[in-house]
Amino acid sequence: MIKLGTKVIAAMSGGVDSSVTAALMVEAGYDVIAITMRLGTHDTIEIESDKPNCCSLEGVEDARRVATQLDIPFYAVNYEEPFRESIVNYFSDEYVAGRTPSPCVICNQDLKFGKLLELAAQLEVDYVATGHYARIEQDPETGRYLLRKGIDLHKDQSYFLFSLTQAQLSRALMPLGGYEKNEVRAVARKYKMRTAEKPESQELCFIADDNYKRFLKDRIPDKIQEGDIVDQEGQTLGTHQGIPFYTVGQRRGLGISAETPLYVTELKVRDNTIIVGKNEDLLADTMQVERVNLITIDKLTEPIRAEVKIRYKDAGAPATISPLTDTEVEVKFDQPRRAVTPGQAAVFYDEDTVIGGGWIK
């Protein structure tokens, strides 16, 4: 039962998911305020595209029109500088450091459930609701807030939310976690929303053409230098175009020929060298994970079993997770995993519940 006058910020990007989220909050009886984050243009180019993104003026206008339809107040808030610092700079810095970034995790952590929750506190608003396909529940025994997969497993976004704290989860609402995507579009059609048939937004909303190599070359040309590509024995096989252009597991675009396919197995930033090897050289059964955030428990004091995802589209694999420090763990897989990539998120699951996660070291 919703307490009369309970206020919620509906984070609206101008897409169908956030539009329906706002509608469901109104239907449920919340006092809803629609907020769109103006994140600015951080690219050096602008192109016409059929793919919408949450940074565009079109997205702001679509969000405003939906808010008008729902008869709720609408505001656009300028978060251009926080977005630059938290997301865009992080994105570039991680590639320079030889790691593969996951900007959606940082955006959820710092902006959607960071800056928007700060705004909610200033406005004396109780919750922030987003269009994520995930579910939040409170454990009746422990009182802890739990993060679970959305029921539409093709759309599930719990992987990108592993770093949310108990304080953030306690004030977050994700009503789409109980919906299939086609059901969400059906709700939008019921309301005759202009966003009902809007296609999915591109993953990297701040890169106009989805070409991250071009984006990095424009932003950090002084940090992109050619270097050697060497094999496992240290023999030089060719020249790379700059470490930020490569990631562990990459095969295409190496510009070298060999009798068997070769893949990037390591990026040595200090030496500006890329090491390549055969497919079996990509296999690892152990990894260290740092900056761990736990959700179902407060602290890991002994080894536990979990399904561990090492990238968003990964199906997950059984492993034993052992504590090293309060914020670092060792993950030992039952079977070797391919292309364990530094910088990516490792997320630990107990069936459909997120135990926690961290960053592959």
Alpha-carbon distance values, 257 to 225, 239, 243, 265, 269 (Å):
22, 12, 19, 16, 23
> Active-site residue among 54, 55, 104, 107?
107
Burial of residue 241 (number of CB atoms within 10 Å: 0-12, 13-18, 19+)? middle
CA distance 274 to 312: 25
Catalytic site includes residue 107: yes
205 is catalytic: yes
* Three-class SS state of 158: helix
Phi, psi of 7 (to 5 degrees): -100, 145
User: Which residues are known to be catalytic?
Assistant: 107, 205
